[in-house]
Amino acid sequence: MSARILDGKALSETIRDEIKSEVMLLKEKHGIVPGLAAILAGDNPASRIYVSKKAEACDQAGLHSETLTLPASTNQVELLDHIHRLNSDSRIHGILVQLPLPDHINENELLLSVSPEKDVDGFHPVNVGRMVIGKEKSFLPCTPLGIQTLLVRNGVETSGKHVVVIGRSNIVGKPMAIMMMQKAAGADATVTVCHSRTRNIADVIRLGDIVIAAMGKAQFVKADMIKPGAVVIDVGMNRIPDATKKSGTRLCGDVDYDAVKEVAGAITPVPGGVGPMTIAMLLSNTLKSAKNSL
Amino acid sequence: MSARILDGKALSETIRDEIKSEVMLLKEKHGIVPGLAAILAGDNPASRIYVSKKAEACDQAGLHSETLTLPASTNQVELLDHIHRLNSDSRIHGILVQLPLPDHINENELLLSVSPEKDVDGFHPVNVGRMVIGKEKSFLPCTPLGIQTLLVRNGVETSGKHVVVIGRSNIVGKPMAIMMMQKAAGADATVTVCHSRTRNIADVIRLGDIVIAAMGKAQFVKADMIKPGAVVIDVGMNRIPDATKKSGTRLCGDVDYDAVKEVAGAITPVPGGVGPMTIAMLLSNTLKSAKNSL
């Protein structure tokens, strides 16, 4: 029997509708429109697409959005000045610095300069620390939060389950692991983190009642690595050659989807799984920030 | 064959001697004596013993130490004032707020008020966040750092090994898991965190090449939960009844030591294992802070 498809696209639309209602209410009651500012430096085409998608999602949900498009030659001081200005702009509740930045920019210093209260990506050390300690006030990073929301809203029980996270990035793997081990709703799981150095990785992945693949290797997770009935979440976004496509390539995840869906109990597609949830969570965090500012 | 004993007491003395030499050098070269201030509010007898042990260790290693002993009636504002004063005192490089605090004190606000640059316990969200992200500048929390040091200095290979952490506290379990999964020396392990909600916990613990028991349940980890040859680290400090002792009690860990040492490859005793390493790391972090201040 084929796995149930966890449709992130459909759920993200539902959530964005919910956000839209809340945004209208906030405007009516308090005269506040949540605002997101994106900083885009240089001309990375993928970055430009991401940022325009985020701006479009803001518009649709009634949030204010602005994109600061800067040339690749912009220097550190100029970028810091822009962030400081946005930190003190009361119309802006979320600031997003699109990565990667041009090579001459000190990315770390820049991310640190974003006010933690407007850090809707959840990348600032203060927010990362609050997440570990388990503080309500932190912004949880959008991709792990989107995955947790996808699990919860699809009724996937996590308490006492074994969650295996593949990959240990600062954006997905590490925060995902921390969030799933917390004593909290939608969490309370036994958590294993495996990665490139893990021995017998197939055996480790096979422990998972829930497997979250986030190591950025096209179709790495095969059907024989999955415990029958497990829930498989695919965070990968890889381009692989495909002669049948006009572009000569197609998008695929870190999971060998066609084969794994015959073994798994539930699975996210790529695209249309985790990706749209990430954007919905960015809006959700911006709304949260606007509410915090009341 | 009985397990090799990982002697934390002996190693901690070696490390404290090394720190003593570095402190002398720092004084000679730069005229700086690393200083640790401990704040002790209320009259918890265990806390008083801990703080006096820490002060004694400072004295022996040539660090300056001062203990602020305050009555249980001290209020929040007074405590905050003391911390602010210590934050700006150039003779003090580390500030340690001994927990637990009296009930009427907002512990969280207090810990946040300690300057991250003097937070030698590594409890401030900024330092926790830096630890996750993997920044050099953070102070790593003393107990997990002591365990990692004990493993490294005893030549226990961690890269690619499966580390099972039992317990998910903010002081030990969570930071320990994060530290062991990092792409770094003395880490690079596959990491599993299990806890009270974990199903079939014996099977999960048996996965561990290295098992770190930190859930605070006397003698919970039994011999049949340990993979033969595994390295077992016992963080527990529990008092249990013992009619053969004058006090009627004795100290024991979270591991059933006598039975487990017949199965494990190496094991830490309680006392004399993790405890002394924790204090050595507190001195090490204070020395690091003094060097950072140069």
Judgement on whether residues B80 and B194 belong to the same structural domain of the protein: no
* Maximum distance among all Cα pairs of chain A, rounded to whole angstroms: 58
List CB contacts of A273: < 8 A, sequence separation 6 or more: A6, A7, A8, A9, A150, A233, A234, A253
CA distance to A61, A64, A271, B225, per residue, from A14 (Å): 11, 20, 17, 46
**Is residue B275 scored above 90 in pLDDT?**
yes
| Confidence grade of residue B135 (pLDDT, cut at 50, 70, 90) | confident
Tokens of A145: 């939060």
CA angle A32, A124, B175 (to 5 degrees): 130
The CATH number linked to A147 is 3.40.50.720
Shortest CA distance from B175: residue in chain A: A132
Among A211, A229, A219, A232, smallest CA distance to A166 is for A211
Asked if the structure places residue B195 within a domain, the reply is yes
Q: pLDDT > 90: what percent of chain B?
A: 94
Asked if the structure places residue A285 within a domain, the reply is no
**Is residue B46 scored above 90 in pLDDT?**
no
- Give A136 or B121, the one with higher predicted confidence: B121
Asked if the structure places residue B238 within a domain, the reply is yes
- Identify which of A130, A159, A182 has the shortest CB distance to residue B125: A130
Please give the torsion angle defined by the CA atoms of residues B211, B212, B218 and B221, in that order, rounded to the nearest 10 degrees.
-10
Judgement on whether residues B90 and B44 belong to the same structural domain of the protein: yes
Per-residue pLDDT reduced to its tens digit, A258-281: 999 999 999 999 999 999 999 999
Q: What is the pLDDT of residue B243?
A: 94
What DSSP designation does A220 have?
-
**Is residue B125 scored above 80 in pLDDT?**
yes
Q: What is the pLDDT of residue B119?
A: 98
Judgement on whether residues B77 and B178 belong to the same structural domain of the protein: no
**Cα within 13 Å of Cα(B24), Cβ side:** 8
Judgement on whether residues A203 and A266 belong to the same structural domain of the protein: yes
| Confidence grade of residue A164 (pLDDT, cut at 50, 70, 90) | very high
Q: What is the pLDDT of residue A166?
A: 98
The CATH number linked to A40 is 3.40.50.10860
Among A143, A276, A139, smallest CA distance to A214 is for A143
Buried b (16+ CB within 10 A) or exposed e, B220-250: bbeeebbbeebbbbbbbbbeeeeeeeeeeee
Measured in angstroms, the CA of B189 and the nearest CA of chain A are apart by 7
Asked if the structure places residue B203 within a domain, the reply is yes
The residue of B163, B168, B190 whose CB has the most chain A CBs within 10 angstroms, and thus the best one to mutate to test that interface, is B190
Measured in angstroms, the CA of B239 and the nearest CA of chain A are apart by 26
Quick check: A125 and B135 CB within 8 A? yes
List CB contacts of A137: < 8 A, sequence separation 6 or more: A130, A292
Query: Which of chain B's residues have a Cβ under 8 Å away from the Cβ of A175?
Result: 132
**Is residue A43 scored above 90 in pLDDT?**
no
Judgement on whether residues B169 and B268 belong to the same structural domain of the protein: yes
Per-residue pLDDT reduced to its tens digit, A73-95: 999 999 999 999 999 999 999 99
Asked if the structure places residue A45 within a domain, the reply is yes
Asked whether the beta carbons of B292 and B90 are under 8 A apart, the reply is no
Judgement on whether residues B112 and B146 belong to the same structural domain of the protein: no
At residue B57, the 3 state secondary structure works out as: helix
Domain ranges, residue A173: 142-275
Asked if the structure places residue A18 within a domain, the reply is no
Asked whether the beta carbons of B99 and B51 are under 8 A apart, the reply is no
Average pLDDT over residues A141-166: 98
Quick check: B177 and A181 CB within 8 A? yes
CA–CA gap between residue A45 and residue A47 (Å, rounded): 5
Query: Which of chain B's residues have a Cβ under 8 Å away from the Cβ of A195?
Result: 181, 183, 190
Q: State the burial class of residue B277 (Cβ atoms within 10 Å of its Cβ: 0-12, 13-18, 19+).
A: buried
Neighbours of A103 (CB within 10 A): 8
Q: What is the pLDDT of residue A54?
A: 95
Judgement on whether residues B53 and B172 belong to the same structural domain of the protein: no
In total, the C-beta contacts within 8 angstroms joining chain A to chain B are 115
Q: State the burial class of residue B43 (Cβ atoms within 10 Å of its Cβ: 0-12, 13-18, 19+).
A: exposed
Q: What is the pLDDT of residue A108?
A: 87
Tokens of A153: 């809203």
Q: What is the pLDDT of residue B13?
A: 98
Give the H/E segment covering residue B21. Answer: helix B8-30
Judgement on whether residues A148 and A249 belong to the same structural domain of the protein: yes
Quick check: A195 and B192 CB within 8 A? no
Residue A248 Cα to chain centre, angstroms: 27
| Known catalytic membership, residue B76 | no
Measured in angstroms, the CA of A241 and the nearest CA of chain B are apart by 31
Judgement on whether residues A70 and A181 belong to the same structural domain of the protein: no
Asked if the structure places residue B4 within a domain, the reply is no
CA distance to A18, A162, B13, B260, per residue, from B155 (Å): 55, 31, 18, 21
Quick check: A129 and B133 CB within 8 A? no
Average pLDDT, chain A: 96
- Identify which of B170, B199, B207 has the shortest CB distance to residue A160: B199
Measured in angstroms, the CA of B128 and the nearest CA of chain A are apart by 5
CA–CA gap between residue B145 and residue B84 (Å, rounded): 27
Average pLDDT over residues A120-148: 93
- Identify which of B126, B168, B177 has the shortest CB distance to residue A125: B126
pTM assigned to the model:
0.96
| Known catalytic membership, residue B54 | yes
Asked whether the beta carbons of B173 and A164 are under 8 A apart, the reply is no
Give the H/E segment covering residue B131. Answer: helix B125-133
Shortest CA distance from A180: residue in chain B: B193
Judgement on whether residues A186 and A239 belong to the same structural domain of the protein: yes
Neighbours of A293 (CB within 10 A): 13
CA–CA gap between residue B205 and residue B260 (Å, rounded): 13
Quick check: B182 and A175 CB within 8 A? no
Tokens of B140: 């790593």
Judgement on whether residues B171 and B66 belong to the same structural domain of the protein: no
Q: What is the pLDDT of residue B43?
A: 86
Q: What is the pLDDT of residue A201?
A: 98
Per-residue pLDDT reduced to its tens digit, A166-195: 999 999 999 999 999 999 999 999 999 999
Give the H/E segment covering residue B36. Answer: strand B35-41
Over the Cα atoms of chain B, what is R_g? 19
Judgement on whether residues A153 and A263 belong to the same structural domain of the protein: yes
- Bridge partners for A211 per DSSP: A164, A232
The DSSP bridge pattern shows strands B238-241 and B249-252 to be antiparallel
Quick check: B132 and A190 CB within 8 A? no
Q: What is the pLDDT of residue B193?
A: 98
Which residue type, as a one-letter code, is found at position B154? N
At residue A69, the 3 state secondary structure works out as: strand
Query: Count of domains in chain A?
Result: 2
Quick check: B170 and A134 CB within 8 A? yes
Average pLDDT over residues B61-71: 96
Per-residue pLDDT reduced to its tens digit, B161-196: 999 999 999 999 999 999 999 999 999 999 999 999
At residue B93, the 3 state secondary structure works out as: coil
Q: What is the pLDDT of residue A59?
A: 97
Asked if the structure places residue B282 within a domain, the reply is no
Average pLDDT over residues B207-231: 98
